[in-house]
Amino acid sequence: MKTILPGSVIGILGGGQLGRMLALSAQQMGYRVIAYTTEHDSPVSQVCAKTMVGAFEDVDAMRLFAREANIVTLEFENIPATSYKVVSEETRVAPSVQALQVSQNRLREKTYLHDHGFPVVSFFHVRNLDELFDALEKSGYPAVLKTTGYGYDGKGQRVVIDKADALRYYEELGRSDCIVEQYVRYDKEISVIGARGAYGEVKAFGPIENIHRNHILDLSSVPARINWRLAAEAIEITCAVMESLDICGLLCVEFFLVGSDRLVINEIAPRPHNSGHYSLEACPTSQFEQHIRAITGLPLGKTEPHSAAAMANLLGDLWADGEPEWSYTLEIPDVHLHLYGKTEARPGRKMGHLTACSRWTEEAQEIVVKARDRLSAARIG
């Protein structure tokens, strides 16, 4: 396998903020970046050398796009595996087709992890009402009902507390292919972002402590407030999953910490992750630069943060009364603003994020939350 050196063309599938930040990191390293998206004026298209707009199901357009790139990567998983396979026939891809197939479907993901000995909660495949009620009898209430595909930021999932709940939510989800997962009461949510290079070199960020609100990541901070043994175990599991899936690039593994000493995997994502945005300010190598290094075969960079850090998401709800007054937030020392170039602010839509670095995790959290709270207190109409 030949190293893909700066000056080459990197293709990105997807038009969101992860693609935008990948493109900016790649360009800083001297690569030319092209993107394939489904809409004009996407966050990634604003910073790329060239954008092709089309459907991900259009295999002919995808093939033409692939021929212009030395390697193609992705910024989210909702891309048909058949189209991605077509791309892989024209140029190198990272992650692999198999990694995409596994991670884009909750049933395949949980089955793969279980069959390869990784810790997951009990789960059951549901294709009809009989299987739904049988699964709930086995899992007990409450339980989590999820569609098998196209799920992120809490989409396609419901917590059910009784049979009536289950029937109503199953109807809302279109009686689609689903899974029922055992509900676990966890103490913390953490994530580890691992990187595996084209020649097998492995490094990891994290663990990162995550707080969600309405199923959307709200606040991430490092170092996670867990003991060293659990931190080492989470990194070890992440590296083992990367090896098992033959990952090239990044893999984020989201964990639930159950009780004081048990880790179970919630989800995996073979790409940069929202919880890793802190690395732009706090680490010698950001998650985005690390992904580019990994997929092109360059040596991986140093990941240890130089300080504690916290990241707070900025959702479209903050725009409800007009454009936020950014100067109120940026008056606070050590606060950094990242906006994604999205033209329409909607409730729950990720529009940007804030990061803050400090001496301690709690202090970094306090700073970044204070900075975001100022946006709710002051508006410009």
**275: number of CA atoms within 13 Å, CB side?**
30
User: pLDDT band for position 264 (50/70/90)?
Assistant: very high
CA 110, 57, 348, 159 dihedral sign is negative
Q: How many CB atoms lie within 10 A of CB 101?
A: 17
For 94, other C-beta atoms within 10 Å of its C-beta total: 26
- Examine the pLDDT at 379 and tell me if it is beyond 80: no
Judged against a pLDDT cut of 80, whether residue 179 lies above it is answered with yes
Q: What is the pLDDT of residues 51-78, one digit of tens each?
A: 999 999 999 999 999 999 999 999 999 9
State the pLDDT at residue 96.
97
- Percentage of the residues of the chain whose pLDDT score is greater than 90: 85
pLDDT at residue 1, rounded to an integer:
74
Instruction: Report, as an integer, the average pLDDT of 311-340.
Output: 93
What's residue 320's pLDDT? 86
**Domains of the chain listed by start with CATH number:** 9-93 (3.40.50.20), 122-182 (3.30.1490.20), 188-380 (3.30.470.20)
Q: What is the pLDDT of residue 308?
A: 97
Phi then psi dihedrals of residue 272, to 5 deg: -60, 160
pLDDT at 149: 79
72 Cβ contact partners less than 8 Å away, ≥ 6 residues apart:
10, 11, 12, 13, 65, 66, 87, 91, 92, 93, 94
Q: What's the average model confidence in pLDDT over 331-355?
A: 95
Predicted pLDDT at 152: 61
Strands in 157-160's sheet, in edge-to-edge order, are 123-126, 178-182, 143-147, 157-160
Span 109-119, average pLDDT: 97
Query: Mean pLDDT in the chain?
Result: 94
The string of pLDDT tens digits covering residues 89-108 is 999 999 999 999 999 999 99
pLDDT of residue 158: 87
10-42 residue pLDDT tens: 999 999 999 999 999 999 999 999 999 999 899
pLDDT in the model for residue 381: 45
Model confidence pLDDT, tens digit, residues 192-227: 999 999 999 999 998 999 999 988 999 999 999 999
More confident residue, 86 or 172: 86
In SS3 terms, the chain reads as CCCCCCCCEEEEECCCHHHHHHHHHHHHCCCEEEEEECCCCCCCCCCCCEEEECCCCCHHHHHHHHHCCCEEEECCCCCCHHHHHHHHHHCEECCCHHHHHHHCEHHHHHHHHHHCCCCCCCEEEECCHHHHHHHHHHHCCCEEEEECECCCCCCCEEEECCHHHHHHHHHHCCCCCEEEEECCCCCEEEEEEEEECCCCCEEEEEEEEEEEECCEEEEEEECCCCCHHHHHHHHHHHHHHHHHHCCCEEEEEEEEEECCCEEEEEEEECCCCHHHCCHHHHCCCCHHHHHHHHHHCCCCCCCCCCCEEEEEEEEHHHHCCCEECHHHHHCCCCEEEEECCCCCCCCCCEEEEEEEEECCHHHHHHHHHHHHHHHHHCEEC
Ramachandran sector of residue 7 (left: φ over 0; alpha: ψ -120 to 50; beta: rest): left
- Which of 350, 27, 356, 72 has its CA nearest to residue 212? 350
Does this model's pTM top 0.85? yes
Res 380: pLDDT = 47
Q: How high is the pLDDT of residue 196?
A: 98
